[in-house]
């Protein structure tokens, strides 16, 4: 007789447990005090002179008033001090660190240290040695080093609460909140982390959202308005570590929860803040960058429908931007247009969007039955076919439609209801130039794209896209018409790209085939558009906007790295995929997918016979 033993495995989701901390060289309370003191000293150092000569840009020779890179060190020191004080449970400040302050302290200390030491190195290299440093510079170096040493002595890991899923409601949300409160309370007893904040009145939450949007406008304006390479590199260092610090503190998730509760207010506030950008500029120098960032980011958001929601890898998406730009240019009254047609702008932009939609359907219909790499290869081929076709439609190799390599030039400025977008206007005492005018127009197009994306993602077709992205075979088995659903995504994404292309044609005056290659030094192109979606966060609204802004701004500002831009770009993507594969602004579901091992439920095994 053979005895058989069966084993029954029961999976039980255990409550989140605090991760054991690895201690540093100092006791935690002394390490926090040292880091906080280092942050305060860093703030003081920003008011001292760092060099004796104004030859280094930013004028770092003044006592009592920060300049240039000193402002960035001041911001880093302020973050370090705030997070350090919040670790003591000071009323009001503990709201800033719902997931504990230690990780935020460490990253803020890195921000102050890296920015200050980079500045001193830049001064020494540019002016010819460390002899050009004033005592205030050495004070800043020592202050940031003290803060860093204190932060390095903190425990390496802290107890963290699991971020809430904005889509979770009802009893599941109640259990989540209750578990987080208990775990955070235990963390308060053992590690000094802050207790969860009380529920705030609605008007306070809206005020917090408004403050966050205002800070976003300040950061965006400062990044665009940096006047020299050293300042922009320092800005990237401070912004990168600062963003990581507030994210580790849980502040990003806390603000995201507030914006989810007040979505309409946040959407309106975001566009009001963006509309205020031209009024912060004295001329069109940086408004040019602003309008091009909007074009690039808006097209990336359209691609996010195809890639982020439907999961279709499109490597030729920039061709739809080109179709919209060429279609609008041909009917906008350009003297070089072979058609000789001049339509009002609202008709021209509809022509551009309709032409892109038609091409999206024509290309998608025969190819969307393919999946994965095969679809990517076909879309890549479509992008190259478009570029070669417009090159050959020059009257020699083919019909005279696009003027070949010369493109369509001298596209006239828009005039809507008597408002000339090419002229300078005065609004409330502010001078608004040509590119600022187009910035407002492109902002309106971006608003349309955001609303379309949001409504589509929350609709039945949006849920079908997500189902196909996760498992197309299973989705079809549940009754979803995979081909038709993917074709709708392809056509909608192409239409949104056509809208942006119609505006781009009027902004740049000229459209040429070289603007719409798969990869070249100047975005937008298909490679950078896809990278913007991945970098920002697939399936989100703000992710591609942020990713597009970064990928356009960084190459534009760091012109001295023109020979190494693609190398730096590739290295940044590798590091991103290693440390944050879900993107800068992650969708909660995708974040759980990429960090499944970190948040896996405990498994208990029960044996029986």
Asked whether the beta carbons of 555 and 522 are under 8 A apart, the reply is: yes
Asked whether the beta carbons of 600 and 17 are under 8 A apart, the reply is: no
Give the lowest-confidence range in 132-141, 362-371, 534-543, 570-579. 570-579
> Does the predicted TM-score (pTM) go above 0.85?
no
Per-residue DSSP letter, 87: T
d(C-alpha 276, C-alpha 295), whole Å: 17
Instruction: Report residue 236's pLDDT band, with 50, 70 and 90 as the boundaries.
Output: very high
Sign of CA dihedral 103, 109, 115, 120: negative
Q: Nearest to residue 439, comparing CAs of 418, 414, 417?
A: 414
Res 1: pLDDT = 41
Three-state secondary-structure class, residue 332: strand
CA distances from 402 to 513, 522, 597 (A): 9, 22, 54
Q: Where are the alpha helices (DSSP H) in 368-457?
A: 372-392, 434-457
| Burial profile 267-280: b = 16 or more Cβ within 10 angstroms, e = fewer | bebbbebbeebbeb
Res 18: pLDDT = 43
d(C-alpha 396, C-alpha 315), whole Å: 30
In the predicted structure, residue 136 carries a pLDDT above the cut 90: yes
Per-residue DSSP letter, 18: P
Give the pLDDT confidence of 81-130 residue by residue, as tens digits.
999 999 887 877 888 888 888 999 999 999 999 999 999 999 999 998 88
Contacts of 106 by beta carbon, 8 Å cutoff, 6+ apart = 151, 152, 154, 245
Give the pLDDT confidence of 460-472 residue by residue, as tens digits.
999 999 999 888 8
Asked whether the beta carbons of 505 and 334 are under 8 A apart, the reply is: no
**Rg of the chain over CA atoms, in angstroms?**
27
Res 431: pLDDT = 81
- C-alpha neighbours within 13 Å on the C-beta side of residue 472: 16
- What is the number of residues in the chain? 609
Res 354: pLDDT = 94
Per-residue DSSP letter, 194: P
Give the pLDDT confidence of 161-204 residue by residue, as tens digits.
444 444 443 444 444 444 444 444 444 433 444 445 567 788 88
| Domain chopping of the chain, boundaries | 28-260, 283-557+566-594
Q: Nearest to residue 350, comparing CAs of 369, 331, 374?
A: 331
Q: Which two tokens stand for residue 464?
A: 């079908």
- Which range has the top average pLDDT, 28-42, 251-265, 376-390? 28-42
Better-predicted residue by pLDDT, 440 or 581: 440
H helices, E strands: number in the chain: 21, 6
Asked whether the beta carbons of 516 and 316 are under 8 A apart, the reply is: no
In the predicted structure, residue 427 carries a pLDDT above the cut 50: yes
> What is the average pLDDT across 243-256?
89
Topology given in CATH for the domain delimited by 283-557+566-594:
ABC transporter involved in vitamin B12 uptake, BtuC (1.10.3470)
Per-residue DSSP letter, 132: G
In the predicted structure, residue 156 carries a pLDDT above the cut 70: no
Res 489: pLDDT = 92
Asked whether the beta carbons of 48 and 140 are under 8 A apart, the reply is: yes
Asked whether the beta carbons of 503 and 438 are under 8 A apart, the reply is: yes
In the predicted structure, residue 428 carries a pLDDT above the cut 80: no
**Arithmetic mean of pLDDT over the chain:** 82
Better-predicted residue by pLDDT, 417 or 351: 351
d(C-alpha 199, C-alpha 210), whole Å: 18
Res 182: pLDDT = 43
In the predicted structure, residue 36 carries a pLDDT above the cut 70: yes
């Amino acid at each position: 007789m053979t005895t058989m033993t069966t084993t029954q495995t029961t999976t039980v989701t255990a409550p989140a447990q605090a991760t054991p901390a690895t201690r540093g060289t100092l006791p935690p309370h002394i390490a926090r005090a040292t880091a906080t003191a280092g942050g305060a000293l860093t703030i003081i150092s920003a008011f001292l002179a760092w060099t004796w000569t104004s030859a280094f840009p930013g004028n770092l020779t003044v006592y009592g008033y920060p300049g240039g890179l000193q402002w960035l060190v001041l911001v880093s020191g302020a973050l370090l001090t705030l997070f350090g004080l919040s670790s003591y449970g000071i009323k009001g400040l503990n709201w800033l660190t719902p997931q504990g302050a230690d990780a935020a302290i460490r990253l803020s200390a890195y921000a102050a240290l890296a920015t200050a030491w980079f500045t001193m190195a830049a001064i020494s290299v540019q002016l010819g040695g460390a002899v050009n440093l004033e005592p205030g510079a050495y004070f800043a170096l020592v202050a940031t080093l003290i803060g860093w040493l204190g932060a390095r002595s903190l425990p390496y890991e802290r107890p963290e609460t699991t971020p809430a899923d904005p889509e979770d409601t009802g009893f599941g949300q109640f259990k989540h909140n209750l578990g987080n409160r208990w775990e955070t309370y235990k963390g308060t007893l053992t590690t000094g982390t802050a207790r969860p904040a009380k529920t705030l009145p609605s008007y306070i939450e809206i005020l917090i959202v408004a403050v966050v949007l205002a800070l976003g406008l300040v950061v965006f304006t400062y990044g665009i308005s940096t006047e020299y390479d050293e300042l922009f590199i320092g800005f990237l260092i401070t912004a990168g570590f600062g963003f990581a610090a507030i994210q580790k503190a849980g502040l990003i998730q806390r603000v995201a929860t507030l914006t989810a509760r007040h979505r309409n207010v946040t959407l309106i506030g975001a566009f009001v803040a963006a509309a205020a950008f031209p009024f912060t500029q004295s001329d069109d120098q940086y408004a040019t960058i602003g309008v091009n960032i909007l074009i690039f980011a808006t097209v990336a958001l359209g691609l996010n429908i195809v890639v982020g929601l439907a999961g279709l890898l499109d490597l030729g998406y920039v061709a739809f931007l080109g179709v919209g730009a060429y279609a609008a240019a041909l009917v906008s009254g350009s003297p070089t247009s072979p058609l000789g047609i001049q339509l009002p702008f609202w008709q021209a932009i509809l022509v551009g969007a309709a032409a892109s939609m038609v091409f999206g359907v024509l290309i998608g219909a025969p190819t969307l039955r393919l999946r994965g790499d095969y679809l990517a290869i076909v879309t890549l081929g479509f992008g190259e076919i478009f570029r070669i076709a417009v090159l050959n439609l020059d009257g020699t190799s083919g019909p005279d439609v696009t003027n070949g390599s010369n493109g369509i030039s001298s596209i006239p400025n828009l005039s809507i209801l008597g408002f000339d977008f090419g002229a300078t206007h005065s609004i409330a005492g502010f001078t608004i130039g040509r590119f600022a005018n187009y910035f407002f127009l492109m902002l309106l197009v971006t608003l349309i794209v955001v609303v379309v994306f949001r409504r589509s993602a929350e609709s039945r077709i949006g849920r079908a896209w997500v189902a196909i992205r996760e498992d197309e075979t299973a989705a079809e088995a549940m009754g979803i018409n995979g081909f038709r659903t993917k074709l709708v995504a392809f056509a909608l994404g192409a239409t949104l790209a056509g809208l942006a292309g119609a505006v781009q044609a009027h902004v740049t005056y000229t459209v040429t085939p070289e603007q719409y290659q798969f990869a070249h030094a100047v975005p937008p192109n298909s490679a950078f558009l896809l990278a913007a979606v991945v970098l920002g966060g697939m399936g989100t609204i703000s992710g591609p906007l942020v990713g597009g802004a970064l990928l356009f701004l960084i190459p534009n500002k760091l012109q001295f790295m023109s020979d190494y831009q693609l190398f730096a770009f590739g290295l940044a993507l590798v590091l991103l995929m290693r440390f944050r594969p879900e993107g800068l602004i992650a969708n909660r579901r995708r974040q759980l997918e990429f960090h499944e091992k970190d948040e896996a439920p405990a498994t208990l095994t029960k044996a029986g016979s």
